[in-house]
Each structure stands twice: as C-alpha cells, then as structure tokens.
Amino acid sequence: MSFLNNSTKIKFDKKTFNIKPYSNGAIFMWEEETGKKISESSTTKDNIMYIYCLFKACNRDSFNYSFEEFYEKLDDEPKVLASVYDFLQKKKI
C-alpha cells in the first residue's frame, strides 16, 4: 500500500504543512480527543477534528494550534478543507 505514504503540502495560516492520507498518530490522537473509535466518526466536528489531528500528527514540531484556533481560522480559509477533502478522496481514505 505505497499510496499511503504519499503526502501533500497544504497552506494554512500563511504556512505550509505536510499531511499524509493515513496516520496512526492522527487516529490515536482523534480517539483520545473524542473518546470514540475512528469508525464511529459521524459529525462535521468529528471530520474537522480528524483533519486537525492529521495536521498535528504529521507536523509535530511546527503545527502549534489548539483545535479551537484551527477551526476558527478555517472560517477565513475555506479552501483548506476543500484541499484536504480532495486529497483524501483521491487517496480513497
């Protein structure tokens, strides 16, 4: 499954971050934050939380936003979510 190792660069808050289509770290972080299994993801908040966890897990040294800061900034940068969703869709995740 080499496609899982592919990453992409996403611009957020005037910075560039890498994300992978799949990250155990992001899944573990998401489950810890939500108290649910990843298979129970069903809400918009769940989806945005997973994307937040992808950014955080894939950029441990440079992504220093709280979840609240992240989703508030998304209002000003709607293309970020669209870019992430498009990338994940292409990877069939």
User: Global pTM?
Assistant: 0.88
The enclosing H or E element of 72 equals: helix 67-74
Tens digits of per-residue pLDDT, 4-57?
A: 458 899 999 999 999 998 889 999 999 999 999 999 999 999 999 999 999 999
End-to-end CA distance of the chain: 12
Q: What pLDDT does 17 receive? A: 97
| Sequence spans of domains, the chain | 2-90
- The secondary structure of 4-25 as a DSSP string is GG--EEEEETTEEEEE-S--HH
pLDDT band at 1 (very low <50, low <70, confident <90, very high): very low
